[in-house]
Copies of this chain bind each other. A is one copy, B any other.
Amino acid sequence: MKADAAATIGDSEFDRDTRVTLREPGVYDAELSAGWTIINAVNGGYLLALIGRALADALPHDDPFTISAHYLTASQPGPAVIRTDVVRGGRTLSTGQASLFQYDEEGREVERIRVLASYGDLDTLPDDVRTTAKPPAIPPIDQCFGAGDAPDNAPPVPGSSAITERLALKLDPSTLGWALGAPSGKGEMRAWFSLADGRDADPLSLLLVVDALPPTAFELGLMGWVPTVELTTHIRHRPAPGPLRVSITTRNLAGGFLEEDAEVWDSEDRLVAQSRQLARVKLA
Contact = CB atoms under 8 A, between A and B. Distances in A.
Interface of A: 65-66, 68, 70, 72-73, 87-88, 93, 95, 97, 111, 114-118, 122, 125-133, 186-187, 220, 229-230, 232, 234, 236-237, 251-257, 259, 270-271, 274, 276, 278, 283
B236 A252 contact: yes
A271 B258 CA distance: 12
A274 to B, nearest CB: 6
B283 A68 contact: no
A229 B66 contact: yes
Given A68-B70, A118-B229, 6 more contacts: A65-B257, A88-B111, A116-B116, A131-B251, A132-B186, A237-B255
18 contacts: A65-B278, A66-B230, A116-B116, A125-B257, A128-B256, A130-B253, A131-B251, A132-B251, A133-B252, A230-B234, A232-B276, A234-B259, A236-B254, A236-B255, A237-B254, A251-B271, A252-B271, A259-B274
A252 B135 CA distance: 12
Given A70-B87, A95-B72, A114 B116 contact: yes
Contact of A68 (B68, B73, B220): B68
* Chain A interface helix/strand/loop/mixed: strand
Contacts of A237: 254-255
A229 B68 contact: no
Contacts of A128: 254-256, 283
In this complex, which of A125, A187, A276, A283 has the most chain B Cβ atoms within 10 angstroms of its Cβ? A276
Nearest to A234: B278
Contacts of A126: 255-256, 283
A259 B131 CA distance: 11
A254 B274 CA distance: 12
Contacts of A220: 130
